[in-house]
Amino acid sequence: MEEFSFANQLFQYLITGLTVGSVYAMVAIGFNIIYNVTEIINLAQGEFVMLGGLIMVFLHAVAGLPLILAFPITVILVTLVGMLLDRLAIRPIRQPSVLTLIIATIAASIIIKGTAMFIWGKDPFDLPAFSGRTPINFLGAVIQPQYFWVIGFLIVTVILLTLFFEKTIIGKAMSACADNPDAASLMGINVKWMILLSFSLSAAIGAVAGITVTPISLMEYDRGAMLAIKGFGAVVLGGLGSFPGAILGGLILGTIESFGAGLISSGYKDAFALIVLLAVLFFRPSGLLGSVEISKIKRF
Amino acid sequence: MNETLTEHILEVEEVVMAFGGLMALINLNFQVKKGMIKAIIGPNGAGKTTLFNVITGTFPPTEGAVRFKRQSIERLKAHEIAKLGISRTFQTVELFTNMSVLENVMVGCHTRTRSSFIASGFRLPQVKRKEAQIRSKAMEVLEFIGLTDRSEESADSLPLGDRKILEIGRALATEPELVCLDEPAAGLNETETQAAADLIKRIKEKGITILLVEHDMKVVMDISDEIMVLNYGEKIAEGIPEEIQNNHKVIEAYLGGEEDYA
């Protein structure tokens, strides 16, 4: 091995951090989509990521479907789970308060996790990397090609979502529900459909995150909860409900984690996210890009 | 007026609305003729806004029937009623505050847009065309209500008078046949009130039927074809403006029993 300077090492941490951060950002975007339409914090968000990874493992590594087929099928299946979550756990609740619904999502996450354990067992699974595992040397850092896939999919997701919310009438209708659900329904917008759509979108994005990250970090049945906490940390850091905030929060959180693990101790890796979460709640509860007024009005 | 020739666009039959023990509407019967402006007046708490909420599907009536173009709508959801062609504005302006003036109207256009999620997700050229159509339709509405030059401003930044006008515009964007306006002149100064009254008359000229709740009697008397008076959830009078002005029951309800006042 050639000389491995301190600067190179820092760059390595940065790339790793941005990759992990991209996953957190995708989870955070999923949180925000549902939150913006319903004010629910969907604590089953991490389970979508877990399911994305494990279903992909089954279809691609076990059943042998090619990547190009297994990927969309996995996304569709996880999206269906998201729809079922809305239909079975959220919609049937009578006179829902936001808190009741959040608790329902906790229950759902436990059920999904338990089911996954029955199906896949407790072992972590690997998935072949999309374009091999030959590392690329870039500015002195050793980068797995899969890192680019993760970051790339975050970028694609963000572009597609921006187009959806800015350019399509359904996207606008969804923003309208988030803004003023009563007025929206009097404009002929079916708010229940929009809630279903928000769960579908969040599940699909979670699945993409899970599929792309599994070749790097493996996937097992109980990964969801920690991913949800990290994603939620990113949401709080960026400001609840803000999409740019979710991306920024996710990337910052991933980077802090990576530098913390590299420079201080990898044993405290998960603690860094929680420390950031607490620090934000103490010093700037509205988050980096959230507005103070909004955080006062919102119920959470 | 020839009753047999005029079609009723809205029929309210024996409607009762009870909130627990409180009777907000009691056996209410009335019709609205197509193409007219019908005003509903009455003291505060008479049940006017409740009536709007029942008609537009915010909540179903406890008893009774509501028919729009001969179709029962009292059990339909708000978004279904909006699709049939009833739109409304609110007493307290309820705009989409995070959106621009134009976008508010564009959301109103959503009602008449047939587009599946799949289509909008995967066929970008078609989406672009549809977006352009909606945008130009929304601009037409803005031109009609006179807010063209403020189209890119945030809805939140408009003065109250313009926000009320914009809310009417958003209601028109759903291409309704019946518009329910809840106190369009409340809180407006004289000039703004006049502008709102003129706009309402121009909406009528387009052939849209208007149901109007308003406290400004000058506006009501000026633009209404028919007036219905509610008091404690009951209809106490109905007729053309001149009849209502001279109705003793109405004067009593408003002024508290001073029979000799008129």
Structure ipTM: 0.72
Residue at A237 is within a domain: no
Verify whether the Cβ–Cβ distance A170 to B97 is below 8 Å.
no
Whether pLDDT at A64 is above 60:
yes
Number of domains in chain A: 1
Average pLDDT over residues A172-184: 85
Residue at A108 is within a domain: yes
Classify residue A39 by its DSSP letter. -
- Interchain CB contact of B84 with A (< 8 Å): no
Distance between B254 CA and the closest CA of chain A, angstroms: 31
Verify whether the Cβ–Cβ distance B98 to A182 is below 8 Å.
no
Distance between A175 CA and the closest CA of chain B, angstroms: 9
Classify residue B100 by its DSSP letter. B
Residue at A148 is within a domain: yes
What chain B holds in terms of domains, given with CATH numbers, is: 8-255 (3.40.50.300)
pLDDT number for residue A124: 93
Neighbours of A261 (CB within 10 A): 19
Average pLDDT over residues B194-204: 94
pLDDT number for residue A47: 96
Own/partner contacts of B125-131, CB < 8 Å, gap of 24 or more, are B127/A167, B127/A168, B128/A167, B130/A169, B131/A167, B131/A168, B131/A169
Alpha-carbon distance of A79 to B22, in angstroms, equals 45
pLDDT number for residue A295: 47
Verify whether the Cβ–Cβ distance B111 to A187 is below 8 Å.
yes
Pairing of strands B209-213, B37-41: parallel
Residues of B in Cβ contact (< 8 Å) with A191: 79
Alpha-carbon distance of B239 to B225, in angstroms, equals 9
Q: B65-112: per-residue pLDDT in tens?
A: 999 999 999 999 998 999 999 999 988 888 998 889 999 999 888 777
Residues of A in Cβ contact (< 8 Å) with B106: 169, 172
Verify whether the Cβ–Cβ distance B88 to A184 is below 8 Å.
no
Distance between A298 CA and the closest CA of chain B, angstroms: 15
pLDDT number for residue A186: 85
Residue at A242 is within a domain: no
- Interchain CB contact of A234 with B (< 8 Å): no
pLDDT number for residue A296: 45
Candidate from A172, A178, A197 with C-beta closest to B106: A172
Residues of B in Cβ contact (< 8 Å) with A189: 79, 107, 110-111
Residue at A233 is within a domain: no
Verify whether the Cβ–Cβ distance A169 to B130 is below 8 Å.
yes
Residue at A117 is within a domain: yes
Per the prediction, chain A carries an average pLDDT of: 89
Nearest-5° Cα angle at A149, A147 to A155: 110
Confidence grade of residue B253 (pLDDT, cut at 50, 70, 90): confident
Residue at A284 is within a domain: no
Residue at A299 is within a domain: no
Verify whether the Cβ–Cβ distance B82 to A188 is below 8 Å.
yes
Tokens of A71: 């990927």
Chain A residue closest in CA terms to B117? A170
pTM of the prediction? 0.82
Chain B residue closest in CA terms to A176? B96
pLDDT number for residue B124: 65
Chain A residue closest in CA terms to B118? A170
Whether pLDDT at B243 is above 90:
no
Residues 36-65 of B with CB under 8 A from A: 56, 58
pLDDT number for residue B6: 67
Alpha-carbon distance of A63 to A58, in angstroms, equals 6
Domain span at residue A204 reads 10-221
Q: B134-171: per-residue pLDDT in tens?
A: 888 999 999 999 999 999 999 989 999 899 999 999 99
